[in-house]
Chain A
């Protein structure tokens, strides 16, 4: 069975939690005790109907305030696919959480209230989905019941959204008219929208083609951990453990290791079950080489004819994730990129991007919580990277404040250069 990870985003009142509750409920993932618990709480809170949103609000403060504070992960399966939902809150102050949920998603689901049309937050969600390179974007035009299931409202949202999305790099954009509250077009096509010819949301989630989203061209293997058993039986074993993040690796392949630039040949690709004929993303394997060369965590195995960029100077878009400090030029931070940890200095904040208008403010002197901008970074060691748009694993990094140890920024590499 295939696994699809998707992130959901919506404004506070777009009905996102209700939509997820509906998906879980209609695919029978909600258990009797969970349903009874939310029925009790709904009654207590004076709701007229069972509030499916309560299923996804896990923390005490969330239930009390009726808001979602943090990314929550949900799971459901149909006979066709298994799904992991990263449910992210849509409030303006929580861009951080959306970026987090979107970072591992194959698909983003954005909700728009049919009555309000495309609002600032819809644009922000679409922009973030594009920035994080989520390959597929689904726009659910929700609360269609409140506009009499009219096609006009749906088409209006579609046109507005398309206009904005044209400025973004979105590969696959789909619109679905729904009512999360009543379940229209969630699992089955709704009789209330005879004018809609597309698939229901669930059907789309089951069928959208994701297998080709991975990069199977550029062979990339960041060395994560060196396995050297301290036992007589495996005395001479030296294996490089890690996760394949691009391309295909086979025994006999000529490879190059970075940063040394030495070449060698793959002796075997090992797993607990024994050697395998080939390995591809996202397999976790152990590679052995025919030559005894010095290789450790943070190094990279690639092909002599297809290497990542090697540079200490990196251009990137970053999203600032903390209210405790801000990003300014000259700031020094720790960076974690693939399996490598180093230090960077922000040599230049080129601009801050207004994610509603896409305007670039070149006079900006800092990025604060939830702000996104383009920066130049100088690293203490060379990084081995690809553009984020080409490989999400070798093109992404996080920045860590060395004083507080907090994760303060998420970064997406654009290229090399100061």
Chain B
């Protein structure tokens, strides 16, 4: 603590996020924290811990499980959530498929990405969640740059970018009717680099796939996709072993790896500082569908 009463940039955005976490716990009846095991949700979980300390989290943690996860990430999820002492709710895309709520795409480019929306919204209804914490950041994507911290969703879970509630100072309006909910994004103002610097500062553990490792991969659309049972390779897509790391954690079927030798957090941060491609542009097939891919999915109720 200094006598100049100045907070570093990381301390300032951390304080803003904690304020948001506490506001939701105070004003909503049934919040829930979405957790994917990715770096953003790891930071979210730490911020939640800090917000209510020394009490435990006043809400459960939910993972929308596509069934196409990296095994390292699932193992990490269970361990980390046990450490925090939180209750884990798993919403399963496989179950939505088995129950006929959604139809699985077929072919080599099949993805369960879009199916998650139904699974997510079903879980919101089943558990009557009124606020869902998400780890989306405004620097990730153009549509997200315009989304509020409290993002209102109607009874269909839809986001309407033209009908967003004005959000002033740190006065958030969380009033909803039954069946509606709010997506809350406490780390809206964090950048990818902030996330990594915070992980380093806090000494938080991350899933091993974020660090460079040898992996059998094949090239598709300029990305390295992991060779797994969840993806059917097309003609000419040959499996090679490369030293890679992941910049985002999503489905094995749509998350690409980047070639990297960064085996430590410091090396990852140095690499990100020098990179010239956005994390979603580099590694997410789901965002490459069109200019408005994210906007369209969000309108349907996606994360």
A interface residues, Cβ below 8 angstroms from B: 1-3, 31-34, 37, 41, 56-61, 63, 69-75, 77, 81-82, 84, 96-97, 99-100, 103-104, 211, 214, 216, 224-225, 227-231, 233-234, 237, 241-243, 248, 270-272, 276-278, 280-284, 286, 297, 321, 334, 336-337, 339, 392-393, 396-398, 400, 402, 405-407, 410
Chain A proximity of B185: nearest CB distance (Å)? 11
B278–A33 CB distance below 8 A: yes
Chain A proximity of B172: nearest CB distance (Å)? 8
Inter-chain contacts of A242 with B (CB < 8 A): 22
Inter-chain contacts of A230 with B (CB < 8 A): 55
B275–A31 CB distance below 8 A: yes
Q: Which of A72, A282, A392 contacts B145 (CB 8 A)?
A: A72
Inter-chain contacts of A276 with B (CB < 8 A): 1
Q: Which of A2, A72, A211, A407 contacts B165 (CB 8 A)?
A: A407
B168–A32 CB distance below 8 A: no
Known: A2-B6, A33-B278, A407-B165. A227 touches B171 (CB 8 A): no
Inter-chain contacts of B156 with A (CB < 8 A): none
> Which residue among A58, A104, A242, A400 has the maximum number of chain B CB atoms within 10 Å of its CB?
A58
Inter-chain contacts of A280 with B (CB < 8 A): 5
B281–A31 CB distance below 8 A: yes
B102 interface residue (CB < 8 Å to A): no
A323 to B247, CA, bound (A): 43
Q: Which of B18, B142, B291 contacts A284 (CB 8 A)?
A: B18
Chain A proximity of B260: nearest CB distance (Å)? 17
Q: Which of A231, A241, A243 contacts B170 (CB 8 A)?
A: A243
A355 to B177, CA, bound (A): 36
Measured CB to CB, the nearest residue on chain A to B53 is: A272
Chain B proximity of A239: nearest CB distance (Å)? 8
Known: A2-B9, A72-B145. A398 touches B168 (CB 8 A): yes
B292 interface residue (CB < 8 Å to A): yes
A284–B15 CB distance below 8 A: yes
A97 to B15, CA, bound (A): 24
Grouping DSSP codes into helix (H, G, I), strand (E, B) and loop, the B interface class, with mixed when no group exceeds half, is loop
Chain A proximity of B158: nearest CB distance (Å)? 15
The 28 listed contacts between A and B (C-beta, < 8 Å) are: A1-B8, A2-B9, A3-B12, A33-B282, A34-B278, A56-B145, A58-B142, A58-B145, A60-B295, A69-B146, A74-B139, A77-B193, A81-B9, A100-B166, A214-B5, A227-B53, A231-B54, A237-B55, A241-B52, A243-B170, A270-B53, A282-B7, A282-B15, A286-B53, A321-B166, A393-B170, A398-B168, A407-B168
Measured CB to CB, the nearest residue on chain A to B46 is: A272
Measured CB to CB, the nearest residue on chain B to A36 is: B281
Measured CB to CB, the nearest residue on chain A to B5 is: A280
B6–A70 CB distance below 8 A: no
A99–B1 CB distance below 8 A: no
Inter-chain contacts of B14 with A (CB < 8 A): 284
A99–B13 CB distance below 8 A: no
B69 interface residue (CB < 8 Å to A): no
Inter-chain contacts of A339 with B (CB < 8 A): 23, 26
Chain B proximity of A318: nearest CB distance (Å)? 11
A229 to B5, CA, bound (A): 30
A75 to B282, CA, bound (A): 19
A61 to B142, CA, bound (A): 13
Q: Which A-B residue pairs are the 9 nearest by beta carbons?
A: A58-B142, A33-B281, A229-B55, A272-B50, A284-B18, A405-B175, A103-B168, A3-B9, A284-B15
User: 8 Å CB contacts to A: which residues of B56-77?
Assistant: 56
B51 interface residue (CB < 8 Å to A): yes
A398–B171 CB distance below 8 A: yes
B191 interface residue (CB < 8 Å to A): yes
Inter-chain contacts of B175 with A (CB < 8 A): 334, 400, 402, 405
B143–A58 CB distance below 8 A: yes
Measured CB to CB, the nearest residue on chain A to B6 is: A211
A277–B1 CB distance below 8 A: yes
Measured CB to CB, the nearest residue on chain B to A57 is: B142
